[in-house]
Structure 1
């Protein structure tokens, strides 16, 4: 009887251990996150406890079952470490519909970064303004590159769905506004605000898509996103040419209204219930790093602005209008990193930093940032200057100039698909990035052989294939690196930063090309071609004399070659930066994903333990 009297207390200790194997993973998490309960279980473990009715023989029979139960509970913990928190899988049909809404958001935002490439000279002719016309493209690019990280952090506070719909609303509203503008200044202003919405669509798609994709399909997310970026970036000039030639340049912007509206509704009505959503820490407004976001925006805009503006004057680079914003931009960049270091020490990484330093301490991710910045430079530059070259040098229509980019479209999509498939299981991201740099470097180098002949050179189309293939490989691999090299807690800013630097590189490319063309135009065409004739290049080429026509083709070809030479220099730097992506003893893609879940679980357990200890102390 004495043994029976002592048993109830011991029985209470055994029952949770037996019950562990039947609980869900979330229940296991709760027991592990409570140090008091965890400690009691460990302390009681050496005692052999059996139900009060057991005799010695029964106890011996029960002991193996108890061990099995404990082992099963332990293996459940290990499974969670390996696979991360389990949640129901979204039904395939619903996932496809949701992915369609997300994909069109990303598609439209990227489309508008290039769709005006074949419409610029038509818009300039309509408004009778050639100087400043590139700001129609750059205004969108500047705000597009400025706000991705801010939108990512806002989504941590208000939720992914709400932030995405807000970005869609801004994008659609100012797209329609662009179509109704009556002068160039209004159009530039609306394009800038349209870019704010576009940046949200861009970064939030890169965040939401991987979060809702089943784990076994995540290695292919980079390829899918890369294909969307590729198709949108290259299809933009083609679609812009069709609308400009057969309708009006205003439809380039009005198109976003109905298409974007339908995509937003599809996204809204297919957004999953809470049980299908991944669990991530909810942020508060007070945790958002608004100062860091402001400094990041200021640095991006102020560094790009002077290079674009320098095309207005051949001697601009020595003037205050060039030097002042450039220096302010560099100072903003230094201030940003100083603030991030202070913020990390002050709040120990709990604040939603604009640029989490934990990401930059990972040499693979840091090298990817630099590589992506350099790879974005020649890609977006090519998307803009090739249609313009086909129109001005080769005398083609906006539609035909856009169609000439089809080889680049196909090869970019192919490169994105290859990048995803090559890294579906084994980690070949370093090799993928290196090959991407080599392809783009080869393509840009070969493009320097272009001539000023009126006839289109077929070889230029073939060289575009190398540029597209390289960018496709780069886009898919950089997206995958952002997924697998970032802590789960910082996945949103990790994707947003990659998106931001890619666009920053492209904006610098457009600005550099604009500056080069502006300098060459003013030095070689002053007194040869009037301002009115320059403003009407897109629609009044036939009014030029043969001598003027030859002079213009020569200037544009020289500027084109110089653009490609600069692209080669930037891509050489990209190749050097890609060496930082190499890592010895690389884990496979599934192993890397398991490591992310394990680290996140350990972080949460440490945080919860500290919280319990603090409460006990109080």
Structure 2
């Protein structure tokens, strides 16, 4: 018996060595080849369309009002879009966990296309406002789900490169929006500012259907296991926090409505404004309590919309704060620069063209900072500090422009500084979430970053507009009749209908009011230092340059901020 051969049991196969702890946190569903190029094109085109829509309408409002005869509701042409666009990003992101990325992206782009057509065919202001609201619903999903797919389609060391591509397309949309809007309003029908979205968005729908795999980003796991069931990484529709989604949506919509309309449609101290703020505040408290309850209850299938771990994650909260505060100088400067030039007699198209340095540097800044972050080991906090300094210097210089006879050429240099700083913030904030949160929450993070940015824009615009309105109203009482004052407050072109002595004095008031509005941004920009402090840690957060490098300072599962 001793001569019989013996066989040792085969050793179990060894697992391939891990290149980093981050590997455990990402789905094995990275894209390559034609799929990667096609998905990148579809997301970039979507970001371009959504961002162009934010700015293109502003230069066409006069033509819209002249055609549809609804001047008393013109503010809602912009507001209805912003309210739904701002309020639904986090909800879209969370729902994409249950419905799947491909289905959610297709539905969002199709909604945007359908109601863009509805806006172009509107026969009344009410129809246009309703269509704009639903167009904003689709736009929110395009941004939120689009960024989520971008996080999941490439490895972490490629994030800066793809963020540079997508943020540059977003900024390009903001760059050409005023130009296209001004050109169409002067030379064609305003309806084309909406109708041009339809064929482009339908092309994106086709690209989404063809290029995004079914079950993405867990399609490879499903294929290996031999079944095509929903991955366990995706949540069941029954686990959705419907109550939390309702509270978040309602609270956000009421808050944004109050911020955008206070001082414009309603007085700040009026009953409608106070009621909106009170109800919104109560709903926010209820939302926080709901999320705390779901996060702390161990035996529940319902997943919170905004996990409580996010609140205790200092780095993630700092990222959201930076995103929110950088939204204010962006939107206020976008409005301020063209208004300055229109006050000096420049037409809508010419005023939009003079905004090119600002938007161009946002695009270049977003691209450059992601190239630097991807190719070097410079910690993001250093680059973000540079962005804050550029913003602060830029808005301080813009606030010094107080000449009522001409606008100095130095304004273009001030735009370059401000735009570069904002571009740095926009470019980095969209790639920071994977470095400071858990991968399973990326869908939520992508929507939250942009939603907070737009919320900050609404807050900054509300505060700046209130300062502007209060100063201008008090000065006009001494200079103009109530009829003249109402005309000038509605459109700056009415200034040139005034007799010469009055016209020059009114221009002086308007120019000084623009400087006051820019001074508001100094506070918003300086407050970004708080966000920088929340991101400070040792070792600092850095992005890996290749698959073998660790992400220094990254929060791993089970850790908070």
TM-score (norm 2): 0.88
Equivalent residue in structure 1 for 2:356, among 406, 423, 433: 406
Higher mean displacement: 458-467 or 509-518: 509-518
Equivalent residue in structure 2 for 1:286, among 214, 238, 257: 238
Contact 2:171 2:359 in 1 (8 A): yes
Distance 2:29 2:272 in 1: 57
Contact 2:438 2:556 in 1 (8 A): no
Distance 2:32 2:179 in 1: 36
Distance 1:230 1:456 in 2: 25
Is 1:486 aligned to 2:437, yes or no? yes
Specify the SS of the correspondent of 2:537.
Answer: coil
Consecutive unaligned residues in structure 1, runs of 5 or more:
21-72, 603-618
Contact 2:320 2:452 in 1 (8 A): yes
Distance 1:275 1:177, change over 3 A: closer
Identify the residue that residue 227 of structure 2 maps to in structure 1.
none
Is 1:386 aligned to 2:337, yes or no? yes
Identify the residue that residue 99 of structure 1 maps to in structure 2.
40
Equivalent residue in structure 2 for 1:15, among 10, 16, 36: 10
Indicate the structure with greater helix content: 1
Identify the residue that residue 78 of structure 1 maps to in structure 2.
18
Contact 2:294 2:303 in 1 (8 A): no
1:349-397 alpha-carbon deviations (Å, 9 max, x no partner): 8643211222332211111111211111111122223223322x12222
- Note the C-alpha offset of 1:131: 4.7
Identify the residue that residue 322 of structure 1 maps to in structure 2.
273
Identify the residue that residue 224 of structure 2 maps to in structure 1.
none
Distance 1:348 1:499 in 2: 32
Is 1:137 aligned to 2:89, yes or no? no
Distance 1:581 1:192 in 2: 35
Higher mean displacement: 231-240 or 216-225: 216-225
Is 1:566 aligned to 2:520, yes or no? yes
1:150-196 alpha-carbon deviations (Å, 9 max, x no partner): 11111111111111111111111111222222343332222121111
For 1:59-74, what aligned pairs fall within 5 Å after superposition? 73-74=14-15
Larger radius of gyration: 1
Contact 1:441 1:572 in 2 (8 A): yes
For 1:249-398, what aligned pairs fall within 5 Å after superposition? 249-272=190-213, 277=219, 281-312=233-264, 316-347=267-298, 351-391=302-342, 393-398=343-348
Distance 2:194 2:517 in 1: 28
Identify the residue that residue 577 of structure 1 maps to in structure 2.
531
Specify the SS of the correspondent of 1:389.
Answer: helix
Identify the residue that residue 239 of structure 1 maps to in structure 2.
180
Higher mean displacement: 578-587 or 217-226: 217-226
- Note the C-alpha offset of 1:203: 0.7
Consecutive unaligned residues in structure 2, runs of 5 or more:
222-230
Distance 1:322 1:150 in 2: 25
Is 1:147 aligned to 2:88, yes or no? yes
Distance 1:452 1:528 in 2: 26
Distance 1:312 1:81, change over 3 A: closer
Identify the residue that residue 225 of structure 2 maps to in structure 1.
none
Specify the SS of the correspondent of 2:420.
Answer: helix
Identify the residue that residue 550 of structure 1 maps to in structure 2.
504
Contact 2:116 2:135 in 1 (8 A): yes
Identify the residue that residue 226 of structure 2 maps to in structure 1.
none
Specify the SS of the correspondent of 2:319.
Answer: helix
Specify the SS of the correspondent of 1:210.
Answer: helix
Distance 1:333 1:89, change over 3 A: closer
Distance 1:497 1:349 in 2: 24
- Note the C-alpha offset of 1:451: 2.8
Distance 1:253 1:366, change over 3 A: same
Distance 2:521 2:335 in 1: 14
Is 1:209 aligned to 2:146, yes or no? no
- Note the C-alpha offset of 1:494: 1.1
The CA RMSD measured in Å over matched residues stands at 3.0
Contact 1:377 1:507 in 2 (8 A): yes
Distance 1:278 1:134 in 2: 48
Is 1:186 aligned to 2:127, yes or no? yes
Distance 1:139 1:330 in 2: 21
- Note the C-alpha offset of 1:531: 7.4
Equivalent residue in structure 1 for 2:114, among 168, 173, 180: 173
Distance 1:447 1:179 in 2: 36
Distance 1:588 1:156 in 2: 28
Specify the SS of the correspondent of 2:38.
Answer: helix
- Note the C-alpha offset of 1:219: 3.2
Equivalent residue in structure 1 for 2:97, among 156, 169, 173: 156
Distance 2:59 2:407 in 1: 17
Distance 1:191 1:535 in 2: 24
Distance 1:180 1:79, change over 3 A: same
Distance 1:528 1:82, change over 3 A: closer
Distance 1:340 1:82, change over 3 A: closer
- Note the C-alpha offset of 1:139: 1.9
- Note the C-alpha offset of 1:87: 4.6
1:460-507 alpha-carbon deviations (Å, 9 max, x no partner): 222111111011100111111112212111111011111110011112
Distance 1:597 1:501, change over 3 A: closer
Identify the residue that residue 466 of structure 1 maps to in structure 2.
417
Specify the SS of the correspondent of 2:357.
Answer: helix
TM-score (norm 1): 0.80
